[in-house]
Structure 1
Amino acid sequence: MKISLLVIGKTDAGYFVDAIREYENRLGHYIPFEMQIIPDIKNTKNLSEDQQKEKEGDLIVKNLQTGDYIVLLDERGKEFSSLQFASYIEKKTHTVAKRLVFIIGGPYGFAETIYNRASEKISLSKMTFSHQMIRLIFIEQLYRAMTILNNEPYHHE
């Protein structure tokens, strides 16, 4: 199984890029991982929120593969502690055949077509974070889950 993180728009802040790259490298020791970046939609000033979500949704669909298990990172999703998330990832490694794809949507969330295509929604917090920050938080939690599953001394109770 491979884990993919699909995101809308690139991260401009160098400190986020460096931190994300660090955790990507660390994750490579445990599981195949990739972050796919979908370019931002151009000329969004002329689009309604729904139109922007639809255009982003079309781009997301183009990056999905047959057999993907899709999990949306969504404020209305299920919340986990770090230990629960590790258990969740462990279960998925036994039940997902190809790719476990986590998706971070654009600034207005997801198009209805993406909600309909997803198997699950999870939330990293009730708080709202920038799209750049949520990438780092997610990838760090994924790394933390891997260290928990391997009984390594990164996570402390």
Structure 2
Amino acid sequence: MIKIITVGKVRKKELSSLIDFYLKQIPRKTEIIVLKDEPTIQGMEKEGENILRNIKPTDFVITLEIKGKKISSEDLAKLISKTEDDLKGDLVFVIGGSFGLSSSVSERSNYKLSFSDFTFPHQLMQLLLAEQVYRAYQILNNHPYHK
């Protein structure tokens, strides 16, 4: 199973619709776990505790972090494929809240991934991540979606 743990819910119907579209296309069961976005930076630790409660010791965790490694769509496909081959738990992607990720979540990460040096709203990041996971599976299946 793939889990996307995200802090903060999507408020725009249009974004939700697009996210759902991509999630339904992913050939592996995929779910989004939405956690409460705390209103202050002091709440980041609470967000971290909530995130960690949803991660098992056997899960492979990929955190989305600005200082993470930037890779291509093909490399993400390879990472997913390699991880699935060795996986005993779930593949878990984590999107932090408006203040980022707590150090405890970053430390639990097996792989720190960056989509860009830009900062994106977590709502948009959910869409970008869902599309890239879908694209990764299309690459792995030699589908022409990814050209």
Please give the TM-score of this superposition, normalised by the length of structure 1. 0.89
Structure 1 residues 28-107: aligned runs within 5 Å: 30-41=27-38, 44=39, 47=40, 49=41, 51-107=42-98
The runs of at least 4 aligned residues of structure 1 exceeding 6 Å deviation read none
In structure 2, C-alpha distance between the alignment counterparts of 1:66 and 1:75, rounded to whole Å: 24
**Alignment-mate amino acid for residue 38 of structure 1:** L
Count of residues in Structure 1 that have an aligned counterpart in Structure 2: 147
Deviations 1:49-108 (CA, angstroms, capped at 9, x unpaired): 2x2111111111221223111111001111111111111111111112110111001111
Instruction: Write the letter of the residue equivalent to 1:101.
Output: V
Tell me which amino acid in the other structure corresponds to 1:76: K
CA distance in 2, matches of 1:151, 1:63: 33
Q: What CA distance in whole angstroms lies between the structure 1 residues aligned with 2:36 and 2:103?
A: 20
Q: Which runs of 5+ in 2 are unaligned?
A: none
Residue 99 of structure 2 aligns to which amino acid in structure 1? Y
Partner Cα distance (2:75, 2:126) in 1: 19
Give distance in 2, aligned partners of 1:19 and 1:143: 12
Match of 1:111 in 2: 102
The gaps in structure 1 that reach 5 residues or longer are none
Q: 1:77 is matched by which residue type in structure 2?
A: G
RMSD: 1.1
Distance in 2 separating the partners of 1:119 and 1:93: 14
Q: Distance in 2 between matches of 1:147 and 1:127?
A: 26
- The structure that has the greater radius of gyration is 1
Identity %: 35
